[in-house]
Structure 1
Amino acid sequence: MFHKSHMDSFNHQFPHDTQGFVPHPGDHWRDMNFEQEGLDPDEEGISVEEHDRRVAYLNSTWWPEVLKRVEEEKERLETEHGETFIQHWKHVLEVPSSHPHGFGVGNQDTGIDD
């Protein structure tokens, strides 16, 4: 994953979590801070069955759709901006970033250097 700020002027339509991190294939939703009401599998008070239902939905439906939207936006920008965007994309993916833990638990670092 990478922080949307690293995308400079290309960042406006990528799906991202509440900390501004954009997922990339190979990332996992548990490593990010998406706040989707009614989907947090670690929400207090839910049953084991509800936990399992939420995890199954996040794994099989929601997360693949998020990654698909990232890929669609990447393809749109490649078409619109050509080699300029492609080179920027490659550079961004080479930059290591810190990242929060899923659903707002843990590290709140934005990954932006001051």
Structure 2
Amino acid sequence: MINGDLSARLSGARGRLISQLSNTVVRWGDQVPEDPGVAELADLLDGAAESPHDAPRSGARTELAVAVAHLRAADRLGGLLPAVTLWHLSQALQRAATLPEPAERTAAPSEPTSQTC
């Protein structure tokens, strides 16, 4: 039953990494669907990396792009090599989660802003 134990441990680790990556996506300003897949998280982080609200932080954009590349690699592997998939997921989390908080989004021109004079 060594393989069964290993599969259970890897499955739990994968779930935790997906949850942590989802929290990172939310931190970068996107909504995460319920029970997201790796490809969905990659698309959401890719959108955050290209978002104009954080233009001066090219270092953050680069780190997010690397995280997206790791997520896409994990998605391509699927369940084929679980340990390698976990490595890519953990690398994506390390890249995305350790970045400083994203800059505040600016209000769209049609949105009223509350200003006191």
TM-score, normalised to structure 1's length? 0.33
Larger relative helix fraction: 2
Higher relative contact order (Cα pairs below 8 Å, separated by 6+ residues): 1
